[in-house]
Amino acid sequence: MFRFRLKIRPKDPLIKILPEVRGRYLQNISLARHTWFGVGGNAEIMYIPEDTEDLAHFLRNKPRNVPLCIIGGGSNLLVRDGGIPGVVIKLDSPHFKKVSVGEGFITCGAGFRNTDLKKYLLRNKLGGLEFLCSIPGVIGGSVKTNAGCFGREVGDVMLRAEIINGEGKIQTVTAKDLGLSYRSSLFPEDWIILSITFKTEPATEEEISRKLEEHRQYRRERQPYNQKTAGSTFKNPEGLKAWELIKKSGCAEMSVGGAKVSEKHCNFLINTGNATAKDIETLGEMIIQKVRQETFITLEWEIKRLGIEK
């Protein structure tokens, strides 16, 4: 009687089957350093494209079964403790941070930080976009959720966006094409924002400075400042305020492990320093459950949750 031993070859690292690029591949990099919560596991691979052509080459030549996800500034993101398998794309090279100004518009690369927009508004006397400067993160992340505050949303000021799809094809779309609505859109999962063009209004430096300062003071007085948070946790149900529902339901002082509800604004969850992603997500789900029990209203996460549980 003969016995055969099956020889099993160890699984090749993902990086070995990815196309050669001019950008950078980073293996097993901690995503906690790329999110405002400061929690979460590793990215199996993080890919930072050199430019649009490099990204298109990658998308056209990567194996079809490799999962992809795109992250921006990490300000509205909760990465689970098990990390993200596959490839995480981050448009963090100088090519995706370019800005150009025209008559009545400004075009910003997807990797350009919202907070850096203010110097261009002041220098060129461009009004109408002050609200964007107070939204954490990068420009590319503002479209999919139709980010907004102080009575304005991206859909109100967006003229067009350049996107690239999962097959590496580039096209231009408008806000109408994307069906932008309150904190949501019809943005396909395999699309990646490359740049956005916003319409602007003539304004003086004094007018722009005044609005920027008003927004800054409002946030500092009413929202957690210099703390590990990801902004508003839940969307406002139609005609209602999420924070009022949370407070009414007795959730304002809740905590789980190192995660707690902010004392300044109860629709913000805080990593007090040693929270895990599991702590934060568990706390959020507990709030949803309690609000539902008390008000018969189901809150919906505004924070994007990615990755696998550990």
Question: Which member of 93, 183, 249, 281 is catalytic?
Answer: 183
Name the DSSP class of 74: S
Active site (annotated) includes residue 305: no
Cα separation values, 56 from 62, 166, 174, 192, 292, Å: 10, 9, 21, 11, 45
Question: Which member of 44, 162, 281, 302 is catalytic?
Answer: 302
102 pairs with which residues across the strands? 105
Distance CA 197, CA 184 (A): 19
Question: Which member of 75, 232, 249, 281 is catalytic?
Answer: 232
Q: DSSP per residue over 161-182, as a string?
A: EEEE-TTS-EEEE-HHHHT-BT
Query: What is the end-to-end Cα distance of the chain in Å, rounded?
Result: 45
Max CA pair span of the chain:
91
Active site (annotated) includes residue 152: no
Distance CA 265, CA 272 (A): 15
Alpha-helix residue ranges (DSSP H) falling in 40-180: 52-61, 117-124, 130-133, 141-144, 154-157, 175-178
Active site (annotated) includes residue 255: no
Q: Catalytic site residues? A: 183, 232, 302
